[in-house]
Amino acid sequence: MKKLFFLLCFSWWQISIAQKPVPVIFDTDIAPDYDDVGAMALLHAFADNGEAKILATISCNAFETTVPTLSVLNTYFKRPDIPIGITKTKEPNKLCQQKWAEAIVEKYPHAVKSNDEAENAITLYRKILAAQPDKSVTIITVGFFTNLANLLDSKADQYSSLNGKDLVSKKVKRLVSMAARIDTSKVGGYEFNVLVDAPASKKVFREWPTPVIMSGFEIGEKILTGIRLINNNSIQNSPVKDAFQVALTKDNNKLGRNSWDETAVLVAVRGMSPWFTYKELSFDVQDNGRNVIIPGKKFMYLQFKQTPAEIGKLIEDLMMHQPK
């Protein structure tokens, strides 16, 4: 009888935990590519479903359109007050090559008009993390690792007496990252998010103190989305649809965009099963930005369980979610 009571209580606890929204900080390089837009659509869909709570949207680059784009998407999904942070680098302003970001920034309302109006990324990270329960926050990073490396190096401040690494260890439950690549030789490879800021990648790969799930290049590469979205006539005046419409048309792409960043959001909120399994491995980063496999089992590296087409259908269904 006692055993039955324990099992019932444990089952109830599992259900109650599963129903709690996942607190998320979303770290993105939005603007160079538009799978970030799809990833944000998923994240807001999960928030509308009660599956996620978006604590902040933070950029690891300083493209001219970055903060306004984040503001457009948060506003469209009726969360205009989500804090926005941006890396405060001396990187020169850049424009989105396909002009999708300029198109939606011009067309849709947004309160935060420029990068200068956003908070410093590390200040925002520390403020948000310090206010959360211990071991509660999931960080999703779908860009390069500049912010995370700077967070690890950060010092005590008005928000927390802990240094960055200790603050992360105390408050973060897991990191889910779209990054890295295993090439045909199975020993490593080059991948954009790792390559852009190789020293930051090296630091995070070596020092990050929580569990890490990684969705590698070869996962999102095989999952194509966007065509059903842009052909869905029931969706009107959507910055998500417009971004994909502009970019896919510019690229003359009739197959769909690789869904790298969406996979990280999916796994961060809903878990790996039934779509993925994983293998355990560790990476280091060479000076030239190449990630190499080294002995160890630090990371959970995604492997397909379902087909890319099956996963792509689910992702695109979520990308077509409309704000409540």
3-state SS, 235-292, equals: CCCCHHHHHHHHHHHHCCCCCCEECHHHHHHHHHHHCCCCCEEEEEEEEEECCCCCEE
Q: What is the CA radius of gyration of the chain?
A: 19
Q: pLDDT-based confidence at 72, cuts 50/70/90? A: very high
* Residues 294-299: contacts with CB under 8 Å, at least 24 apart: 298/205, 298/212, 299/212, 299/213, 299/214
Give the per-residue pLDDT at 25: 98
Percent of the chain topping pLDDT 70 = 91
Q: What pLDDT, on a 0 to 100 scale, did the predictor assign at position 93?
A: 53
Query: Each residue of 195-226: pLDDT tens digit?
Result: 999 999 999 999 999 999 999 999 999 999 99
Rounded-to-integer distance, Cα 95 and Cα 71, Å: 17
Peptide bond into 274 cis (omega under 30): yes
Task: Round the average pLDDT of the chain to a whole number and report it.
Answer: 91
Predicted TM-score (pTM) of the model is 0.92
- Rounded CA-CA distance 312/259 in Å is 8
C-alpha triplet 262, 209, 169: angle, nearest 5°: 100
β-pair type (172-178, 212-215): parallel
Average pLDDT in the 149-164 region?
98
The mean pLDDT value for 182-191 works out to 80
pLDDT confidence band for 183 (50 / 70 / 90):
confident
What pLDDT does residue 96 have?
66
What sign results for the dihedral spanned by CA atoms 196, 199, 205, 208?
A: negative
Q: Write down the domain spans for the chain.
A: 22-319
Q: Decide: 228 and 316 in contact? Cβ < 8 Å.
A: yes
Instruction: Determine the average pLDDT of the residues in 48-67.
Output: 95
pLDDT at 31: 82
Q: How far apart are CA 63 and CA 235, in angstroms?
A: 28
Question: For strand 224-225 and strand 212-215, is the pairing parallel, antiparallel, or unpaired?
Answer: unpaired
Tens-digit pLDDT profile for residues 2-44: 344 333 443 433 443 456 999 999 999 998 889 999 999 999 9
**Per-residue model confidence (pLDDT) at position 94:** 62
What is the CATH code for 22-319? 3.90.245.10
Say how many C-beta atoms besides its own lie within 10 A of residue 18's C-beta.
Answer: 11
Q: Report pLDDT digits (tens) over 233-283.
A: 999 999 999 999 999 999 999 999 999 999 999 999 999 999 999 999 999
